[in-house]
Structure 1
Amino acid sequence: MTLILSWLFILALIVPDLSSSLLHCPSRCHCDDEKLDVNCEEGHLDVVPIALNPSIQRLVIRNNKIRIIDSSVHFYSELTLLDLSYNYLFSIPDRTFVRQSKLQQLNLNHNKISVISNRTFVGLAELLVLNLRGNLIDQIEPMTFAPLVKLEELNLGQNRIENLGLSVDGFLGLIDLKILYLDDNRLEVVPADDTFRPVDKLAELYIGTNSLSTIRNGAFAVFSELTLLDLRSSLLRNVSAETFAGIENIKSLNLADNRFEKVPSQALAVLRRLEELSIGQNYFAAVPGNSFRGLSNLKRFELRGSLYLKRIERAAFQTNTNLESVAIESNKALTEIEEGTFSGLLYLKHLSLRNNGFQRLDEGMFSWNNLRTLDISDNPINCDCYYSKLLHRLQTASRISYNATGCPHHLPDQWECEYILDKNKNLISVLVLAVAIVTAIALTFYRFRGLLREYVHNGCKNKTHGGGAGPGVDINSVDYEKAITEDDYVIRQSNLYNNQVQPILNGYPAYMQQNSVYYNKPLPITEL
């Protein structure tokens, strides 16, 4: 009897440990009974385990092989988080979560769920976050989310939802919804106001990566409290000022990866409270001056991956004096950025010009007042004196953390650059002086061209008639404008010939002219 009691006592001490270590926690799972947390990530499970501590509050079973959710989840009524993402769930039976009255976050993303209904989420009155991203859902039935009266974030991105698949009452009941993901679906137009009216308190709307092409004016006007709008990858060619009517107070806008052939300055100008703008991967070749006029509150700017961008003009950010962070990266055709482009940005702290096509960068481009980080790496920089001076400035500025492109050959030092600079200055001075002299001479000739023409004309006349005037005769007194007959001309030429002066007629001496008057007269007998 004593022996039996001893064995019972020993079992009483051992069994709880055995049940805790062997029965309650499956292999490849981590169970924390103090934090009431179970993590079975990549545990090769094909069903939800039922032998866990029923008081657990967090259950993570992601990256497993679970194909169906059965009644096993009913055992865990204290759950506040359930993560079943990256499994093979094809469907969710009705009222599966009816006992999860304390659940606040449910992750069902990246499964193969195709159908959800107004009975799928019954019982989840405290749910705040629902993630259904990366499934096969193609339609939202009326009242689907009605049981989720406290839901604040709904992720329906990367599904197969079309405009016809969105019921007018699909979002009914989501009166507290703040964040909605509808990106990467099959929407061709922004859903009508009636569809979105139940969620008019949205703060963030992600609707990019759809085939929107164009957006009707005032399409987002129902969202009077919207602060973030994501329209990336939507095949947009243009937007107008009326496109953003009603949401002038948004603070973040993403227009990257569309088909804009020029910066939509007019449409952006109405968003006076905008603080973040992303506009890379579009078709425009230049960012002209005042492209972002009106955006006086802009603080963060991104322009990445534009294949056609070649030039950024000096006044591009002239009115955006509150910019704190600028990232202009991976624009391979971007070779020109005018000097002083960033010099007026007194509050600029972070600047990245990484992986562009810049061959020349110098310190005059930047504002050094509050700069903390500068990335100019992966550019085909010319390792000249301008770059040497820039690096010297960075090396001596202890508060700036920088990343720069290395030079494969010798980089001229400060003394070499000063010598080259002085030499270039002297050469430039000589060239400027020479150009000035040539210009002055040209202007002088141009100004007195009339007098010069008259002088040359009179000089030519003097040479032509100077031989016929004897000593003391005033050539200017001779009336050279008087018409001369052919006989007078012949007589004058004869006299000149007799005086051993051979006249020129038609470009040849008179004795060489076959039709000359000299050959028309009989020769004297003495000469025969």
Structure 2
Amino acid sequence: MMDFSLKELIMILATLTFFNCNEACPIACVCHPSNVVECRGDTIIDTPEQLPHKMHTLRLTMTKMHVISEQSLEKKDLMFHFSLTLSQLHTIHPQAFYAAPQLTSVELSYNNLASLPDKVFRPLIALENLHLNKNQLETITVDMFEGLAKLKDLDLSYNRFSSIPPGTFSGLKNLETLNIGKNRFKTLPATIFHTLTKLEKLSIYKNQLEHLEPELFNNLVNLKYLHLYSNKLASIPPQVFWSLRNLENLTLSSNQLQFLPERSFYNMPKMFKLTLYKNPLITLPVELMGHMPEMPEFILYETSLITVPGNLFANMTGLQVLKLHFNDRLSELPPDLFCCLPELHELSLKSNNLQSLDLQQFSQLNKLETLFLNNNSLLNLPNNIFKDLGQLAMLDLSGNLFKNLPEDIFMSSALRQVSLGDNPWDCTCSIRGFARWMKQNIQVVLDSQNIVCHSPKYQMLRTLDSLRDEELNTCITTVTPSRTSTQEPTQESSTTTATTTVGHSQQPQTSVKPYETSSNQEISSHQPQTSVRPDETSFTYGISPTFHDFLIVEQGPDFVHHNYHNGWVYVWFLPSNPTMTGYLMFSHIVLVATGIIVILLTMYAMHLLTKRMKEIKAQYVDVEG
């Protein structure tokens, strides 16, 4: 007699069970040792007759079974889970489920069911899961789910329901999950959910809901998930969510909300996710968010907001990720908006219309690691705006309107990555400090090839890290426009109040008096400078390496040529008037074309003259002969 260990006996029994299952397994089916049978293929037109006796789950997929007949579920006393999916099922016999009242799960998803017999599911008194999603169902009768007292999960999504009678769910007192999303509901009865006191997840997304009844969610004290996104809600009733004290997830995105009632989201201390994005919100009330200390992430984008209340996030003390971006009208933020977010480590403000930021805007975000400010309309930043962000590692400032930034603006942060491209950098002397910082930290700058000069013209398209210190030494960093302190400016002097004199020599600074001719402008520098008011705004100008003594820079036309002679700089330029410029350019082209034509005609005339001379010479030779 052979001796077997316990492990060997278990393996032998498992193998025998597998072979016994496979011996009775029909063609086109797979019989698993766990007593699950899966059948697939267009050869299946009804449930297989010969199935393993101990089978408890039957899954039919992509078959040609279009009807569940009165006999389809017979002789399957141990089957508790039945699914028929992706099979274009269109008919269920009224007595079909009387043969299998023990079923606890029925899935008929992805078929062509357009209607159901009255009380067809009534025999399934043990049913816990019923999935009818992805069909063509249009009508729900009040007794459709009669007798299903143990039902926990009901999925009616992706059908064509447009209305639902009051009391339809009144017998489903153990229901925990209800999905009626992606249908055609425009309104729902006020008491439709009132008996579902154990409901934890309710999905009404992608319908055509235009309004909510004020008492719609009353009694849903155990609800944790409420999905209302992608409807047509233009408003919500005040306090409509107040009874949902256990709510963790609320989605209201992709609706038509312009305004929200005050304290709309109060009494939700367990809130974990709240979405309001993709709504044309114009304003938000000062009191909107209640105590939500467990919410780790909040997203608000694609709205019509110009600003937001200063205390919007004050009750979200556990927030770790905040995405307030893609709001193309959002132009300003309250200085204390981020005052109460000690755990925030990622903040996205990109693709808004922000034009300025307060010095203390981020001062309380001690744990911030990632900050997106790209694609806004920021002109400048306060010098110490990042000084309290000791853990800031990634910063994106690209796509703004920065011409310059302070040299030490990033000194206090632990930056490992910074993006600065697509800004109109002004590469005059004032950029020297920032350019020096960039060259010293080039390993931190991610897009150095996109950080190029936009002005002055002689520096255009140069990268900022290619600028040398000596190129930026020939300028005065603070020069003020001159104005006479005791007299009103004359017509002559008023044309030169924004000019600046820059140079190397020890000669006194002078103002500018232009002398015009018809084709050029002669600029002199022989008059003493008038007094300067100390409260005037300072200007900074660059100097071209071509000039070596005096450079007179004046706003106006674009210089195209200059000459230095006897201490004078002669500058020729095209007028700044577009019409005159176009006229002169056209005249120049006409003159060039005329000159070419004259040259060609002259060459042709010379050719004819030469030919004629040869003919005369030939005639003369003949005569002489």
Give the TM-score taking structure 1 as reference length: 0.62
Correspondence for 1:203 among 200, 205, 220? 200
- The CA deviation string for residues 348-382 of structure 1, in whole angstroms up to 9 with x for no partner, is 3665667777899999748765668x585996899
> Where does residue 321 of structure 1 map in the other structure?
317
> What is the distance in 2 between the residues matched to 1:299 and 1:330?
21
Q: What number of residue pairs does the alignment pair up? A: 409
Which residue matches 1:214? 211
Q: Is the 8 A contact 1:256 1:280 kept in 2?
A: yes
What letter is aligned with 1:256? S
Task: Summarize the Cα distance change of 1:174–1:168 in structure 2 as closer, same or farther, 3 Å threshold.
Answer: same
What is the match of residue 306 of structure 1? 302
- Is it true that 1:229 corresponds to 2:229 in the alignment? no
Report the more deviating stretch, 353-362 or 50-59: 353-362
Give CA deviations for 1:182-220 in whole Å, capped at 9, x if unaligned. Answer: 223332322132x43443432332223333322232232
| Unpaired segments ≥5 residues, structure 1 | 1-15, 440-528
Q: Distance between the aligned counterparts of 1:208 and 1:178, measured in 2?
A: 17
Deviations 1:369-399 (A, max 9, x none): 5668x58599689999999999994269xxx
Quick one: distance in 2 between partners of 1:97 and 1:173? 19
| Corresponding residue SS for 1:98 | helix
More strand by share: 2
Pairing of 1:156-171 with structure 2 (within 5 A): 156-163=156-163, 166-171=164-169
Provide the residue aligned with 1:36 in structure 2: 35
Alpha-carbon distance in structure 2 between the residues aligned to 1:55 and 1:319: 56
Partner of 1:84: 84
Give the distance between the partners of 1:418 and 1:18, measured in 2 at CA: 73
Which of 154, 178, 185 pairs up with 1:187? 185
- With over 3 angstroms needed to count, the CA separation of the structure-2 counterparts of 1:379 and 1:437, relative to structure 1, is closer
AA in 2 matched with 1:179: T
Match of 2:271 among 271, 274, 299: 274
Residue of structure 2 in register with 1:496 after alignment? none
- Quick one: structure 1 residues 226 and 392, their matched pair in 2 at CA, closer, same or farther if it must change by over 3 Å? closer
Q: Is the 8 A contact 2:109 2:134 kept in 1?
A: yes
Shift of 1:88: 0.8
Q: Report if the CA contact (8 A) 1:38-1:56 is conserved.
A: yes
One-letter identity of the residue aligned with 1:317: F
Note closer, same or farther for the CA distance 1:356–1:90 as it changes in structure 2 (3 Å cut): farther
Cα distance between partner residues in 1 of 2:335 and 2:284: 14
Specify the alignment match of 1:260 in structure 2. Answer: 257
- Distance in 2 of aligned mates of 1:429 and 1:265: 53
Q: Distance in 2 between matches of 1:45 and 1:347?
A: 58
Q: For residues 116 and 326 of structure 1, do their structure 2 counterparts lie closer, same or farther at Cα, with a shift above 3 Å needed? A: farther
Equivalent residue, structure 2, for 1:116: 116
Q: 1-side partners of 2:148 and 2:72: how far apart?
A: 22
Q: Indicate how the Cα distance of structure 1 residues 246 and 416 shifts in structure 2: closer, same or farther if over 3 A, else same.
A: closer
**Match in the other structure for 2:342:** 346
Equivalent residue for 2:130? 130
Q: Distance in 2 between matches of 1:223 and 1:17?
A: 47
Identical-pair percentage: 21
The 2-side partners of 1:44 and 1:351 are apart by 56
Q: Where do 1:397-412 residues align within 5 Å?
A: none
How far is 1:42 from its partner? 6.3
Counterparts of 1:435 and 1:100, CA distance in 2: 98
CA distance in 2, matches of 1:48, 1:381: 66
Matched residue type, 1:66: M
CA distance in 2, matches of 1:37, 1:403: 53
Deviation sequence 1:445-472 (CA, Å, 0-9, x none): xxxxxxxxxxxxxxxxxxxxxxxxxxxx
Q: 1:416 and 2:438 equivalent? A: yes
Distance 1:21 1:413, change over 3 A: farther
Q: Distance in 1 between matches of 2:284 and 2:440?
A: 34
Q: Whole-Å Cα distance in 2 between the matches of residues 229 and 358 of structure 1?
A: 33
Q: Where does residue 61 of structure 1 map in the other structure?
A: 60
TM-aligned CA deviation for residue 156 of structure 1: 1.6
Give the deviation of 1:316 after TM superposition: 3.0
Assess, with a 3 A threshold, how the Cα gap between structure 1 residues 327 and 30 changes in structure 2: closer, same or farther.
farther
Q: Do the aligned partners of 1:376 and 1:405 also contact (CA within 8 Å) in 2?
A: no
Deviation at 1:278, TM superposition (A): 0.9
- SS of corresponding position for 2:73: helix
Counterpart-to-counterpart distance in 2, 1:429 and 1:74 = 97
Query: Is the partner of 1:205 in helix, strand or coil?
Result: strand
Q: Indicate how the Cα distance of structure 1 residues 404 and 282 shifts in structure 2: closer, same or farther if over 3 A, else same.
A: farther
2:193–2:217: 8 Å Cα contact kept in structure 1?
A: no
- State the one-letter code of the partner of 1:58: T
- Matches of 2:332 and 2:440, distance apart in 1: 25
Query: Do 2:67 and 2:90's aligned partners in 1 also have CA atoms closer than 8 Å?
Result: yes
Kindly report the root-mean-square deviation, in angstroms, between the aligned alpha carbons of the 2 structures. Answer: 4.9
Shift of 1:74: 2.5
Structure number with higher helix proportion = 1
Residues 157-195 of structure 1 deviation map (CA, whole Å, 9 limit, x = unaligned)? 2222233xx3344224212112222223332322132x4
Distance across 2 between alignment mates of 1:42 and 1:291: 59
State whether residues 248 and 270 of structure 1, in contact with CA within 8 Å, keep that contact through their aligned partners in structure 2: yes
Maintained 8 Å contact 1:342/1:367? yes
- Name the CA distance, whole Å, in 1 between partners of 2:106 and 2:420: 49
| Bigger Rg, which one | 1
Verify the 8 A CA contact 1:151 1:176 in the aligned structure 2. Answer: yes
- Partners of 1:153 and 1:404 lie apart in 2 by 49
Question: Aligned equivalents of 1:26 and 1:383: distance in 2?
Answer: 73
Matched AA of 1:181? N
For 1:192 and 1:107, the matched residues in 2 are separated by 29
* Partner of residue 73, structure 1: 73
3-state SS, counterpart of residue 416 of structure 1: helix
SS state at 1:84 partner: strand
Q: How far apart are the structure 2 equivalents of 1:357 and 1:25?
A: 66
Deviation at 1:347, TM superposition (A): 2.8
Unaligned stretches of 5+ residues in structure 2: 1-16, 396-413, 426-433, 442-463, 465-471, 482-531, 538-625
**Superposition deviation, residue 306 in structure 1:** 1.8
User: Counterpart of 2:438 in 1: which secondary structure?
Assistant: helix
